[in-house]
């Protein structure tokens, strides 16, 4: 006689930008109910997503699955790492364990969850729990609206071609330019070239203790900033 | 002898798209600690934001300030309504009461909070608590990523000029087209004209019991949809 085990559910859980109080009630519940927690760790074994969620976790009560994925330009190496991570998660799902994958910000907004989802969704039930993203945290920190009434909003990577950034800066009322740290001086030039220096603010480490907000971006030096930095460029009403 | 009372704080609290479990822990705490709750009501006296937050409120324990603002095209009338609402809130803040203004989604993402903020920020301390927005809820409901790696994202109102929508549909990998209900058939035409019908999904009443997800938008009829509806147009990898 055989007994059948139904497979577990794969959850992508957004933990928000940094402040542990910015998780949703649903994210906290899913993390606490999950049988296993998966998260990406850097070369030092540190996981920002796990650090954010830590106050809500039952220490030691869940299976933990740290996933080491090098953030490098070699996509083939990254693809292989995602293949292996998905296989490890699948083994737990096959045993009927629910696995929660912790994601900084929102799981489907520039997150690694999408790569695991693409591998696991064909075979397993998958659920995404949204989280507060960095543009939202930047908007709250500066009280600059991301969009009003008929305005539009572009979210764009600082790593895209100059022409694309210039075009978006010209056409959009409001922009969040992500991954702006390493390309900081180039982004500043493009913002100036479109006459939007007064619309721009620069932010790092949002909602974390080391949060930095620079409202006059002309005071920024040419040093590269951290990965978790962004520019917010918002149409100022009544500006001359 | 006079005693000085410090003024209260004006909080814009995002309550998310509909599911009461999608509030953040911080939003719940701020709502429960506030002395007064302000929210917009429609002509029937109903407030969707209050309905979403209701399971977390201490019934009857807080001052309530329903604000009636007609959603109409007459901006002068709306401006006057915001003036009056800001004056009512200011009276409470002057008495040292903390006022939480409940906002559907995120308070600084197409929200009325911005108009009250513009009036109150010069004189009172103001704080925004971000909330899950409708594009995030749509992305979670469909498991379609809002953005990956070097992709970009446009958030745009269906009420903007055709040329602007066509341009965004041509240039952006991913789009959230909000307020798509009344302009549904026009938006569908523009999506088809840019060859992106297969990338599009249509959603209504996100995360609420009456949520509707239409993955094949060619099956939509020409009837207008509700205000809280949107299109998500996401670049499908590997699509022919």
Burial A149-177 (b: 16+ CB within 10 A, else e): eebbbbbbbbebeeebbebbbebbbbbbb
Query: What's the total number of domains in chain A?
Result: 2
Tell me if A193 is assigned to some domain. Answer: yes
Query: What is the three-class DSSP state of A155?
Result: strand
Contact B130 A140 (CB under 8 A): yes
**Tell me, what's the pLDDT at A226?**
87
String of DSSP letters for A70-91: ---S-HHHHHHHHHHHHHHHHH
Looking up residue A217, the CATH number of its domain turns out to be: 3.30.950.10
Q: Are residues A125 and A140 in the same domain?
A: no
Residues B117 and B151 in one domain: no
Rounded CA separation B85/B10 (Å): 13
Q: What is residue A239's predicted lDDT score, i.e. its pLDDT?
A: 39
pLDDT at A238: 45
Using an 8 Å CB-CB cutoff, list chain A residues near B26.
Answer: 19, 21-22
Predicted complex ipTM:
0.94
User: What pLDDT does residue A69 have?
Assistant: 83
- The values of phi and psi at residue A13, to 5°, are -115, 115
Do A29 and A122 have their domain in common? Answer: yes
Cα→Cα distances B104→A47, B27, B53, B110, B212, Å: 32, 12, 9, 10, 18
Chain-chain contact of B109 with A136 (C-beta, under 8 angstroms): yes
* Contacts with A230 from chain B: Cβ below 8 Å: none
Least confident of B41-50, B68-77, B198-207: B68-77
Question: Which of the two residues, B58 and B2, has the higher pLDDT score?
Answer: B58
Sheet containing strand A99-103, edge to edge, reads A63-68, A36-41, A99-103, A10-14, A126-129
Q: What are phi and psi of A9, to 5 degrees?
A: -105, 140
At B240 the pLDDT is 32
B128:A139 CB<8 A:
yes
Tell if the CB–CB gap between B114 and A145 is shorter than 8 Å. Answer: yes
Q: Do B143 and A128 touch (CB under 8 A)?
A: yes
Together in a domain, B102 and B181: no
Cα separation, A221 vs B223, whole angstroms: 54
Q: Is the pLDDT of residue B227 over 50?
A: yes
Tokens 């087209």 belong to: B177
Across the interface, whether the CB atoms of A152 and B145 are under 8 A apart is answered: no
Residue B195 included in any domain: yes
> Based on the number of CB atoms within 10 Å of its own CB, is A182 exposed (0-12), middle (13-18) or buried (19 or more)?
middle
According to DSSP, the β-strands at A200-204 and A229-234 are antiparallel
B23 plus B124 within the same structural domain: yes
Chain B partners within 8 Å of A28 (Cβ): 25
Shortest CA gap A2–chain B (Å): 34
| Residue the block writes with tokens 């009544």 | A238
Name the average pLDDT for chain B.
Answer: 92
Q: Is B217 helix (H, G, I), strand (E, B) or coil?
A: helix
B119 and B158 together in one domain: no
Give every residue of chain A whose pLDDT is below 70, as ranges. Answer: 1-4, 71-73, 237-240
Tokens of B157: 């109102």
| DSSP reduced 3-state for B11 | strand
* Assigned domain for B190 exists: yes
Residue B122 and residue B160 share a domain: no
- Number of A:B CB contacts under 8 A? 157
The pLDDT value recorded for residue A202 is 96
In a domain, A239, yes or no: no
d(CA A209, CA A17): 12
Best mutation target, B143, B149, B178, to test chain A (most A CBs within 10 A): B143
Residue ending a domain, among A129, A150, A181, is A129
**Residue A3: inside a domain, yes or no?**
no
Q: How far is A20 from chain B (nearest CA, A)?
A: 9
Whose tokens are 């200011």? That residue is: B90
Contacts with A25 (C-beta within 8 Å, 6 or more apart), sequence order: B20, B21, B22, B23, B24, B25, B28
Q: Are residues B92 and B33 in the same domain?
A: yes
HSE (side-chain half, CA atoms, 13 Å) at A11:
24
Residues of chain B with pLDDT > 70, as a percent, come to 95
Judgement on whether residues A47 and A148 belong to the same structural domain of the protein: no
CA distance B141 to B18: 13
* CA distance linking residue A172 with residue A155, whole number of Å: 10
Domain of A39: which CATH number? 3.40.1010.10
- With beta carbons less than 8 A apart as the criterion, state whether B23 and B16 touch: yes
Q: How far apart (Å, rounded) are the C-alpha atoms in residues A236 and A196?
A: 10
Q: Which comes out higher in pLDDT, residue B189 or A238?
A: B189
- Collapsing DSSP to helix, strand or coil, B141 comes out as helix
Q: Which two tokens stand for residue B235?
A: 């670049």
Phi, psi of B204 (to 5 degrees): -130, 150
pLDDT tens-place string over residues B127-183? 999 999 999 999 999 999 999 988 999 999 998 999 999 999 999 999 999 988 788
Assigned token pair, B24:
């953040």
CA B229 to centroid of chain Cα atoms = 11
SS3 A157: strand
Q: Is residue A46 part of a domain?
A: yes
Structural domain ending residue among the three candidates A72, A105, A129: A129
Residue ranges in chain B assigned as alpha helix (H) = 25-33, 48-53, 75-94, 113-120, 134-142, 162-171, 184-193
Lowest mean pLDDT segment, chosen from B63-77, B88-102, B134-148, B150-164: B63-77
Structural domain of residue A180, as residue ranges?
134-234
Which DSSP symbol is given to A92?
Answer: H
Binning pLDDT at 50, 70 and 90, where does residue B228 land? confident
| pLDDT of the residue at B217 | 95
Q: Beta strands A229-234 and A174-178: pairing type?
A: antiparallel
Confidence band of B239 (pLDDT split at 50, 70, 90): very low
Residue A4 lies in a domain: no
Q: Please indicate, yes or no, whether residues B140 and B100 belong to a single structural domain of this protein.
A: no
- pLDDT of B238: 45
User: Considering B108, B129, B150, which residue would you say is the last residue of a domain?
Assistant: B129
Q: Which residues of B touch A146 (CB under 8 A)?
A: 106, 108-109, 155
Asked if A138 and A121 sit in the same domain, the reply is: no
Residue B2 lies in a domain: no
Q: What angle do CA B203, B205, B210 make, to 5 degrees?
A: 105
Do both A202 and A100 map to the same domain? Answer: no
Task: Encode B163-210 in three state secondary structure.
Answer: HHHHHHHHHCCEEEEECCCCCHHHHHHHHHHCCCHHHEEEEECCCCCC
Report the pLDDT value the prediction gives residue B74, as an integer from 0 to 100. 76
Residues of A in contact with B144 (CB under 8 A): 108
**Listed residue (A229, A232, A129) closest to A175, CA to CA:** A232
How much is the average pLDDT of B70-80?
Answer: 78
Q: Comparing A34-48, B66-80, B83-97, which segment has the lowest mean pLDDT?
A: B66-80
Q: Count CB atoms within 10 A of the CB of residue A213.
A: 14
Q: How far, rounded to the nearest angstrom, does the alpha carbon of residue A182 sit from its chain's CA centroid?
A: 17
């Amino acid at each position: 006689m055989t007994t059948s085990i139904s497979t577990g559910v794969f959850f992508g859980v957004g933990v928000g930008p940094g402040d542990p109080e910015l998780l949703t009630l649903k994210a906290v519940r899913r993390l606490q109910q999950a049988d296993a927690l998966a998260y990406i760790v850097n070369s030092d074994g540190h996981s920002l997503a796990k650090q954010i969620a830590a106050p809500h976790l039952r220490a030691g009560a869940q299976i933990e699955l740290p996933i080491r994925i090098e953030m490098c330009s070699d996509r083939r190496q990254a693809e292989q790492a995602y293949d292996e991570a998905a296989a490890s998660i699948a083994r737990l799902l096959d045993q009927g364990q629910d696995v929660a994958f912790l994601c900084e910000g929102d799981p489907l907004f520039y997150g690694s969850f999408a790569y695991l989802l693409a591998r696991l969704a064909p075979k397993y039930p998958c659920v995404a729990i949204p989280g507060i993203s960095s543009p939202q945290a930047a908007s709250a920190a500066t009280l600059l609206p991301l969009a009003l009434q008929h305005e539009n909003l572009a979210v764009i990577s600082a790593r895209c071609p100059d022409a694309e950034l210039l075009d978006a800066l010209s056409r959009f009322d409001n922009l969040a330019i992500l991954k702006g740290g390493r390309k900081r001086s180039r982004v500043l030039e493009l913002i100036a070239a479109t006459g939007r220096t007064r619309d721009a603010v620069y932010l790092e480490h949002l909602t974390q203790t080391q949060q930095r907000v620079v409202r006059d971006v002309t005071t920024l030096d040419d040093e590269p900033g951290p990965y978790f930095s962004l520019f917010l460029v918002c149409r100022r009403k009544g500006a001359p």
